[in-house]
Structure 1
Amino acid sequence: MELTINSHEFSLSHNGHIILQHNENNPLVFVGVGEENVEMYRGNFDIEDYLIERVKLDLTVIEQSNSVVNLNFDNQVEIKVSINEDKATLDIKQINNALNRFFIRVNSNKEERFFGLGEQMSYLNLKGRNFPIFTSEPGVGRDKTTYITWRSDVENKAGGDYYNSNFPQPTYISSNLYFLHLNSTAYSEFNFKKDNFAEIEVWEVPSQIIIEGGNSYFDILEKLTDYFGRQPELPDWIYNGLILGLQGGNERTFRLLDETLEKGIKVSGVWSQDWCGKRVTSFGKRLQWDWVFHKEMYPELPAKIDELHQRGIKFLGYVNPYLVNDGELYKEGKEHGYFATKHDGSDYLVDFGEFDCGVVDLTNPKAYDWFKNEVIKKHSIDIGMDGWMADFGEYLPTDDIKLYSGRSAMIEHNNWPVLWAKCNYDAVKEDGKLGEIVYFMRAGGAGSQKYCPLLWAGDQSVDFSLHDGLASTIVGALSAGMTGCGLSHSDIGGYTSLFDNTRTKELFLRWAEMSAFTPVMRTHEGNRPDTNFQYYQDGDCMNKLARLVDVYVMMKDYIKDIVKENAQKGIPVQRPMFIHYADDNEAYERQYQYLFGPDVLVAPVHESEKTKWEVYLPDDIWVHLWSGKEYTKGTHEVDAPLGYPPVFYKKGSKYQSIFENIKEKHA
């Protein structure tokens, strides 16, 4: 990093590329005052801002001492820029307390690309678009041109758009080989629409911005995850097979497990989300949000879990940080004052879709410890669970809600998923179960990396749509990996079925093909299991699924090594091709194919009724996994019948024997 100052001009550059600058023609900082209006409906936020004033600030005072420069902008804000090798830290001080809007411009050029901002499901390269950072439901369809999104908007205010995300984060990586992190949990927007600059808007004067450069994407990712922390390695049992998403009580769940095993499908675990009971709403089958095993549906569940363990199979459940107001745990929490309230002290309940829940106030240390010890430990870990879906986290309301910490809900909202992740992490760590128990989350924020051992892509539609179907999970995994969260997976076959949109056998198998080349394979019956295709309904599907799971299991040693690399260096398991082929322009353009570690290239079939598929291969010799045919750099059309996704491995890979064994057994 290099600082250049003279008179009333300033620039910060890395490797000859100017990142920040202020001069007469290029102002760096704007400030203002605004009034926002935020309405939430079931986790979907309608956000409007009335900008009362916005002014450009002049740089009036520059003071330098060694590698530190103090910049005073019109006596409104002061920025202290500190340089330590390739890292620049901007500590920002608010002088005018009336300000609540802050804008900073980052120098750019037309060719520059930006990646990250948490888990973005629609676009890997962020250039040319605007991205609000505010965790929320991602929406159904997420494409304003489609019928499903339109109808979801009309009926439920839930259609979403390309930028809606459970896990947005104010951090990006530039193709000019630096990362920028905005150290603020306030609502912000990253606007990449201009060719010559990007503008970051924050609904407060933030405390800090960090910029750090590197000599490669690997270098930057390692530095980025040094800062945030890294996901631990997954438990060894994960790689023994498929995690089955089954529900309906003991008889149905364990009968379907046995039928699955009889078909030769290797199973590592059973995930029963309705271990706590169920509710049926207009949306479909939901859960009883009272995190205690349901004694009618799952009688003697701890004993059943022990039986599974004796068979070498794990059991996973479900929990989230809200409690339904007709449940036993709600009564206990309310008695102790562990819920957030309205500002007048009355109950604050959130509508989660035809049932109301209290918000456990995770900013209250006593409430935090109660949920950690008396809910997660007592009712999940202590009965023998090996993991769970740690759901939600993005629903903290922003209107009349009072938190123990005294912080504004608008400031706390983006931090809420991180608090929720840490609560789970602390419960597992304190019980000495790190590396044995795995919980998976959809919501996140800056700092989730250390506390979230496994990301899950959320509630995709059960279809091939680009913005909310199979393809969106590829982009989501790659963007999350570029934000330091490199272990991700998704519901095989998707989850959300609305307005006659139902899962097909073809969709399920195409999704399973992709999932065989991700860190974790897990099924889900979806929100309307009775009207959607399920793998156990079709013998041919079960045979094909058994083969794909076996391929995944045969790759165990390879997957474990790339998961370890993520834990040690922050290099994601699913990688954009360009991090290995940085000079290949086409590698940047292909957002629906990825490298699975350094030696495997995967191009999932994400369209219906396709038996051939176009693949782009970067500059190496690539061996087609199923045929053994060798390919070189370029665009190729390959056969892709159901069960045989376009997958290639690098010739000469030290793992070549694994891939050859897969071909010999499953070609």
Structure 2
Amino acid sequence: MSRPGVRVTLLVVIVALLASGVVAVVGLSVLNGRYAPPAPLPEPGRVSVADGALVDTETGHYRVVTGERGLVVVDAEGTAVFGSRDGRSALAAVRGHVDWREHTGHFTATEHRAAVWTSMRVGRVDAGSDQVTVAGELAGSGQTVPFELRLGTGDPHRLAVSVRVPGADGVVLRVRRDGGEAVHGLGAQFSGFDLSGKFVPVVTREQGVGRGRQPLTMLAEATEGAGGAEFSTYAPVPFAMVGGRRAVALDTTRYSTWDLRRPDLVDVTHWHDEVDATVYTGDRPADLLALRTEDTGRPDALPGWALDGAIVGLQGGSDQVRRKLAALRDAPVAAVWLQDWTGGRRTDFGDRLWWTWQVDRERYPDWERLVADLGERDIRVLTYVNPFLVDAAGRSGRNLFREAEAAGYLVRDQRGGPYLLDQGGFSAALVDLSNPAAVDWYVEVIATEVASAGIAGWMADFGEGLPFDAVLHGGDPEEWHNRWPDEWARVNAAACRRAALPDCLVFHRSAGQDTAATAPLLWAGDQLVDFGAADGMTSALHGMLAAGASGMPLTHSDTGGYTGLAQPLVGVRRTPEVLRRWTELSAWGLLLRTHEGNRPAENAQVYDDAGAAAAFAEQARVFAALADYRAEVVAEAAATGMPVLRHVRLVHPERPWPAGSDDQFLFGPSFLVAPVLEPGATTVTAHLPPGRWVHLWTGTEHGDTGSVSSVTVAAPPGRPAVFFPVGDRWGQRIRDRVVTGSGTR
């Protein structure tokens, strides 16, 4: 894994200025300028309806009404699912453009609006058996533009909405919110679960270093443009639940924004002159996720071996891997993940990799023997790859960069040469995934080089870096930028098939429109190695819960985080406490996969000493004890879209939940987990759904049968707060295994 970094030299200079307040002013100005949302659109204008367009018609599974209330679409339950509120327009359009700025994978947009059309005149309504077409004009800024709205009404739970506004540069769906309904989803978002009051851009990009933690974010932004902000994410998805019974999805890979700053409205702006969307309806969030899963495709279930034991991230060469693994002899280890199999280099940011996608024979001289030896112990080997190539002149082996350049397989810049992108200490170019020949070539490279004999899978990193001014073999970068993660996922899936790897495991950090099916296993990106809510362990949990509400049911995180920093004032080092608590979080989840981080020597590691190894082994045994339960939950997630890690609001949307509910999760249907997310904490307050719940470690019952209740329990190291419903078929079975040791699998 690798994240573009923060340069030491500039940081040292800026730290020296910090005391005078200079950097705080400059950094805050930069952040406000780059990431500040645009002004909200004007209030919706009125809807007027020509006499010949007044209708009240049943068509398909919906009723469409035009008149004094404007244009309203009502489902069979009598609920208005789309259209006007109080005679206001449900559509708007924009003339203007978006300017993009990029540095080391950090993309920020500046919107320019020359005209906004907010009022709607309905001139014609044509109703068929399963479709209604509404045509007319949008007005504003002293101008008018024609529009056509098509409503597909043939499905009782999916209203298809297609809008065309010739002459516009952006189309806006003004989605009604009733009673300040909460909004959830939009991908792996790392802030609170309810996005109300926020402006969320859907653009895949680096998530940043700090993401609001100060002064780190200001320094990272001022030096490298790498600080990020609240809604910087690798994995945004244009799908959001509005309340518990309705969801809206755009069928697009182009840039869109979701403005939730009004309590009665969601303004969804799609920067193109047309947009296709679906409004899903159901009785509960689970229904909405099931519908979405049917449309995007069901993810493949994960190989059973990955659910049975820990995946330990190690590096340093054959001897180091053997030594570190020996320290973990008491832990159930299913695989080792050797990200540096292709060689390492040192940059200002820390340890980085050689992106040559061939075994480094100096670091791993006995690679085949190492893989075979581990295989004899039933320990699999995972490697690493990404869609970039570097010019590795002077290194032995194939120069894949030169091969791709000669064949025309690289993304080009405006001058026609390879588009070299700064990676924080070196440059690299993307393989052009819009070129079928390049895709086939790279599938073969991964299948023969990365998937070397005996390995079981790899991390498929990046996927978010396509510049908006790139020149592609076939396609528009405006459309392909958010599409890139899906195409990258397809490349890796094809490489697994071509290499004929049984039970292949590939995990991704970037996501697109179809990622739930194309890249079923995601991880939450590159967090700081601390507890923080802005960019640490807490943010990883928030991101996984939001992803789960977005149709991405299989997620996990780097256990221990990734980004450590050595600079004065902003330095971050992983402590043994952070590592232990993060391991507890992962043990009660989908995957327990550790990461040494970008600065391994400065971070606590699971193999450091006997105490660290014993603590890790204890939690790895808990993870293994949950294997058959986990397999059942994964199968459910793959079939229904209901995530493995679930925010309580997905299961109990009708209940009021305190803010602290964002910091806990349901692990499948049987367990509620409230992890320790603060340094030094030895107690945790959990918010229990209605019913009686058993505290796993003590057997004590808690809860209220009629309402949400809060309970504070002891949570010493190794004992996160875990509860299960009284009488649950899995609860007592798992308690017997992990507490008394009397249960069997």
| TM-score normalised according to structure 1 size | 0.96
Query: What's 2:47 paired with?
Result: none
Post-superposition shift, 1:221? 1.1
For 2:376 and 2:526, locate their aligned partners in 1 and report how far apart those are by CA, in whole Å: 33
1:69 is aligned to 2:132: yes
1:636 is aligned to 2:719: no
Query: What's 1:297 paired with?
Result: 363
SS at match of 1:586: coil
Name whichever of 269-278 and 202-211 sits farther off.
202-211
Query: What's 2:200 paired with?
Result: 131
1:356 is aligned to 2:427: yes
Query: What's 1:506 paired with?
Result: 577
Query: What's 1:663 paired with?
Result: 739
Query: What's 1:376 paired with?
Result: 446
Query: What's 2:694 paired with?
Result: 623
List, as ranges, runs of 4+ consecutive aligned residues in structure 1 with deviation greater than 6 Å. Answer: none
Q: How do 1:177-576 and structure 2 match up within 5 A?
A: 177-261=245-329, 264-326=330-392, 328-373=399-444, 375-399=445-469, 401-405=470-474, 407-433=475-501, 436-498=503-565, 499=567, 500-576=571-647
SS at match of 1:379: helix
For 1:213 and 1:432, locate their aligned partners in 2 and report how far apart those are by CA, in whole Å: 41
- Aligned residue identity for 1:332: E
SS at match of 2:405: helix
Q: How do 1:578-657 and structure 2 match up within 5 A?
A: 578-586=649-657, 590-633=661-704, 634-655=709-730, 656-657=732-733
1:357-381: per-residue Cα shift (whole Å, max 9, x none)?
A: 11100010000010011x2100122
Task: Flag the 1:349–1:4 CA change in 2: closer, same or farther, 3 A.
Answer: same
For 1:86 and 1:657, locate their aligned partners in 2 and report how far apart those are by CA, in whole Å: 38
1:85-142: per-residue Cα shift (whole Å, max 9, x none)?
A: 1211112334x2x321111200113431111101111121111111000100011111
1:12-64: per-residue Cα shift (whole Å, max 9, x none)?
A: 23444323224784112111221222111001113211111111243222221
Query: What's 1:49 paired with?
Result: 111
For 2:274 and 2:363, locate their aligned partners in 1 and report how far apart those are by CA, in whole Å: 50
For 1:23 and 1:233, locate their aligned partners in 2 and report how far apart those are by CA, in whole Å: 43
- Aligned residue identity for 1:394: E
Name whichever of 552-561 and 294-303 sits farther off.
294-303
Contact kept? 1:278, 1:286, Cα under 8 Å: yes
Contact kept? 1:493, 1:507, Cα under 8 Å: yes
Structure of larger gyration radius: 2
Aligned match for 1:32, one of 77, 82, 94: 94
Task: Flag the 1:340–1:141 CA change in 2: closer, same or farther, 3 A.
Answer: same
Gaps of 5+ in 2: 1-60, 138-144, 394-398
For 2:658 and 2:124, locate their aligned partners in 1 and report how far apart those are by CA, in whole Å: 45
Contact kept? 1:119, 1:165, Cα under 8 Å: yes
For 1:511 and 1:177, locate their aligned partners in 2 and report how far apart those are by CA, in whole Å: 33
Query: What's 2:26 paired with?
Result: none
For 2:126 and 2:667, locate their aligned partners in 1 and report how far apart those are by CA, in whole Å: 49
For 2:66 and 2:628, locate their aligned partners in 1 and report how far apart those are by CA, in whole Å: 56
Post-superposition shift, 1:483? 1.3
SS at match of 2:585: helix
SS at match of 1:118: coil
Query: What's 1:21 paired with?
Result: 83
Post-superposition shift, 1:250? 0.8
- Aligned residue identity for 1:487: L
- Aligned residue identity for 1:545: F
Contact kept? 2:383, 2:457, Cα under 8 Å: yes
- Aligned residue identity for 2:63: L
Contact kept? 2:327, 2:610, Cα under 8 Å: no
Contact kept? 2:247, 2:288, Cα under 8 Å: yes
Contact kept? 1:184, 1:206, Cα under 8 Å: no
SS at match of 1:190: strand
Contact kept? 1:649, 1:659, Cα under 8 Å: no
For 2:733 and 2:84, locate their aligned partners in 1 and report how far apart those are by CA, in whole Å: 56
Post-superposition shift, 1:542? 1.5
For 2:742 and 2:429, locate their aligned partners in 1 and report how far apart those are by CA, in whole Å: 51
Name whichever of 319-328 and 241-250 sits farther off.
319-328
For 2:129 and 2:84, locate their aligned partners in 1 and report how far apart those are by CA, in whole Å: 20
- Aligned residue identity for 1:347: P
Post-superposition shift, 1:549? 0.7
SS at match of 1:76: strand
Task: Flag the 1:478–1:24 CA change in 2: closer, same or farther, 3 A.
Answer: closer
Contact kept? 2:388, 2:428, Cα under 8 Å: yes
Post-superposition shift, 1:432? 4.3
Name whichever of 274-283 and 29-38 sits farther off.
29-38
SS at match of 1:548: helix
1:142 is aligned to 2:211: yes
- Aligned residue identity for 1:583: E
Contact kept? 1:350, 1:358, Cα under 8 Å: yes
For 1:546 and 1:666, locate their aligned partners in 2 and report how far apart those are by CA, in whole Å: 18
Contact kept? 1:581, 1:587, Cα under 8 Å: no
SS at match of 1:3: strand
1:598-653: per-residue Cα shift (whole Å, max 9, x none)?
A: 01000011011111111111112211111111112311110011111001122211
For 1:413 and 1:380, locate their aligned partners in 2 and report how far apart those are by CA, in whole Å: 25
SS at match of 1:121: coil
Contact kept? 1:513, 1:645, Cα under 8 Å: yes
Task: Flag the 1:210–1:21 CA change in 2: closer, same or farther, 3 A.
Answer: same
For 2:67 and 2:719, locate their aligned partners in 1 and report how far apart those are by CA, in whole Å: 64
1:182-212: per-residue Cα shift (whole Å, max 9, x none)?
A: 1121111101111111101111123411112
For 2:728 and 2:505, locate their aligned partners in 1 and report how far apart those are by CA, in whole Å: 30
1:245-297: per-residue Cα shift (whole Å, max 9, x none)?
A: 11111111122112211xx1111101010100011100000000111111111
For 1:468 and 1:13, locate their aligned partners in 2 and report how far apart those are by CA, in whole Å: 42
Post-superposition shift, 1:431? 4.2
For 1:18 and 1:109, locate their aligned partners in 2 and report how far apart those are by CA, in whole Å: 10
Task: Flag the 1:79–1:432 CA change in 2: closer, same or farther, 3 A.
Answer: farther
Query: What's 1:100 paired with?
Result: 169
SS at match of 2:494: helix
Query: What's 2:121 paired with?
Result: 58
Task: Flag the 1:666–1:645 CA change in 2: closer, same or farther, 3 A.
Answer: farther
- Aligned residue identity for 2:460: A
- Aligned residue identity for 1:646: A
For 1:501 and 1:201, locate their aligned partners in 2 and report how far apart those are by CA, in whole Å: 38
- Aligned residue identity for 1:390: A
